[in-house]
Amino acid sequence: MFVDRAEITIESGKGGNGAVTFRRDPYVPDGGPDGGDGGNGGSVIFVADRNLRTLMDLKYKRKYKAENGQPGMKRNKFGKKGQDLYIKVPVGTMIIDKETGHLMKDLTVDGDSVVAAKGGRGGKGNVHYKSSIRQAPNFAEAGGPAKVRDVILELKLIADVGLLGFPNVGKSTLLSVSTNSKPKIAGYHFTTIDPNLGVVYLYDTSFVMADIAGIIEGASQGAGLGFKFLKHIERTKVLIHVIDVAGSEGRDPIEDYKKINAELVAFDPRLAEKPQIVAANKADLVTDEDKLTEFMGFMEKEGREVYLISAATKQGIDELLAAALRKIETYVEPEEEPMTMFDFEADEHEEDYKLITGYVDEDGVYVLEGKQLMKIFNSTNFTDNGSIRYLYRYIEKNGGIKLLKELGLKDGDTVRIEDFEFEYTDD
């Protein structure tokens, strides 16, 4: 089953807490703090793998979590780093942050990778908090929090040539006789419901050809398998427009050509600007020479390069493939409006990280919040006066007390940080 879109939740590992330990060796009085740092949490990393063709596995498993970092240990020993989680995806997968809609990375080359959720930093052990006035710090830093993110994975196949045309015009047969691919071939519409790729070997070189589901009128609005086809030809360099020139199903080849190109323009005008070769298929079944002459004259006016072929008998296939190769070799990638990229630097160094905010709840309790505040709060040892003073000084230094006073804080009022409440004393 071919799946080209998935939405998953990823979570990095939490950083390990720093250790609160003291040296207790014989004959070493007042050994002092020796708590080691916690290990960094594992990151979630997407990697492009050319051996994968679909996002099917990611469609049904929705949550992925990296390993947490281990806490620090005594004797200044660091905690073990959490193991990174590598998620393999097909080449051509775009990683998109769901919240912002910004592109994190377009993995277009085998082995490309992106760290989509960085692990939390390990907390510092109490050895870092020793000073001339704090000889025995009884607190350490908590590990950094895990990062949870919803991401959209969207696969767009990477092929040099895309086969374009109505259902049952012979695209799958053309792919099978031109490449090593073995697509399903049958005499009914929408035989191809999943993309097929094959490699064409020609003149000591090669290129990739894609046969995706045929499109019908209204495909640009989602009719039939329209979206599933159209988005996969966005990366192609050359289009081969396969047309049943014999009109074997009672359709008019010229009208088919007009309708398909109208759908390209409606979906994305840039698709209609791609180099397009017309493969007039089933030429061996033509019975109305006047109709064929009319078709060729129309194509000449359109400025299209036309090749009379029969995929069933391999008539004209080599000439068609040679023409495609020439266009690939002279193809110039057009300038496109780039997709807005995700700002990793801002994500890692958030400007509001140290910002303290506050409000008064419905019970008249003064509440303080802040990302860095929460980290220090979780590091606080409430049985140790030095640790509590460290927390208070941080709040005061970063404007927390001033903010609450502006909200009306007075001596004896209750202040809450997370689930911890205390009485404020203005002295």
Q: 4-56 pLDDT, tens per residue?
A: 789 999 999 999 999 989 887 776 556 788 889 999 999 999 999 988 888 88
Question: What is the per-residue DSSP string for 152-194?
Answer: EEEE----SEEEE-STTSSHHHHHHHHSS------SSTT---S
Per-domain residue ranges of the chain:
5-155, 161-329, 350-423
How many Cβ atoms from other residues are within 10 Å of residue 344's Cβ?
14
Question: In sequence order, what are the residues at sequence separation of 6 or more whose Cβ sits closer than 8 angstroms to the Cβ of residue 302?
Answer: 257
Question: In sequence order, what are the residues at sequence separation of 6 or more whose Cβ sits closer than 8 angstroms to the Cβ of residue 129?
Answer: 33, 137, 139, 140, 390
How many Cβ atoms from other residues are within 10 Å of residue 390's Cβ?
18
How many Cβ atoms from other residues are within 10 Å of residue 314's Cβ?
13
For the 350-423 domain, the top CATH level (class) is alpha beta
Question: What is the structure's pLDDT at 2?
Answer: 64
Q: Which fold has domain 161-329?
A: Rossmann fold (3.40.50)
Q: How far apart are CA 328 and CA 322, in angstroms?
A: 10
Segments in the chain below pLDDT 70: 1-2, 27-30, 181-195, 213-229, 336-337, 349-354, 427
Tokens encoding 404: 């609450």
How many Cβ atoms from other residues are within 10 Å of residue 359's Cβ?
12
Question: What is the structure's pLDDT at 269?
Answer: 84
CB–CB of 280/305 below 8 Å? no
Residue 203 gets the label, from left (phi > 0), alpha (psi -120 to 50) or beta, of left
- Residue whose token pair is 């870092």: 128
CA 56 to chain centre: 15
Q: How far apart are CA 139 and CA 69, in angstroms?
A: 19
Tell me if the domain spanning 5-155 has CATH number 3.30.465.10: no
Question: What is the structure's pLDDT at 264?
Answer: 84
Q: How far apart are CA 42 and CA 26, in angstroms?
A: 37
Q: How far apart are CA 110 and CA 89, in angstroms?
A: 10
Q: How far apart are CA 294 and CA 252, in angstroms?
A: 11
Instruction: Give which of 19, 20, 12 is closest to 121, Cα–Cα.
Output: 12
pTM score over 0.95: no
CA 392 to chain centre: 41
What are residue 209's DSSP bridge partners?
161, 198
Instruction: Give which of 186, 193, 142 is closest to 168, Cα–Cα.
Output: 186
Question: What is the structure's pLDDT at 29?
Answer: 59
